[in-house]
Amino acid sequence: MILSDKTIRDRVKSGQLVLEPFNEDHLQPASYDLTLGNKFLIFDTPNNLVIDVKEDSSALMREVVVNDGDFFVLHPGEFALANIAEVTGVDDKHVGRLEGKSSLGRIGIIIHATAGFLDPGNKLRMTLEFSNIGTLPVKLYPGMKIAQMAFEELDQPCEKPYGHKSLNSKYYGDMDVQASKMHKNF
């Protein structure tokens, strides 16, 4: 069951959900609006020919930091990683589902390819996997509303929350945008 605005507010107060900082104006009927951080990772394509999923790809990317009042341009066909500004977390009985904003989708901006799930027990700055499928470059501004998070309750607390020692929790507690860690699966 998806949590309502009242339930989201109550569960943030009780500590079952984390939204830091919490802004009442970002609370929607069944979700919470999240804002864009100021750090981006982009592939250094002129100097690299291929991504090998068995190798650490972090050296293939370069960081772009956007200063206050500035913007990041995402060109058609480009891909970039970025963080949500807010720290978002769930206890062992909740999950979060990151969703795009329809206003951005209408101009061709996709905010995640696959990383839209917040596992029970994790607390981090979620990573966005931006793509511009439109035909025009788009300016993205740190602090702008960029996504929304819906929360659901599990039927019972999970036995092994994300970060449990027996799990391969590669992105547990990340506070900065991270390149793929797929190579750790091999």
- Strand segments (E) across the chain: 17-20, 32-43, 61-65, 72-74, 79-84, 87-90, 94-100, 109-110, 117-118, 123-124, 127-132, 138-140, 145-153
Residue closest to 13 by CA, chosen among 28, 24, 26: 24
Is 129 annotated as catalytic? Answer: yes
| CB-count exposure of residue 177 (10 Å: 0-12, 13-18, 19+) | buried
Residue type, 79: F
Which residue in the list 20, 55, 99, 129 is annotated as catalytic?
129
* In the block, residue with structure tokens 């790809």: 57
Contact 174, 123 (CB under 8 A): no
Q: How far is CA 8 from CA 24, 28, 83, 152, in A?
A: 11, 10, 22, 10
Catalytic residues: 129
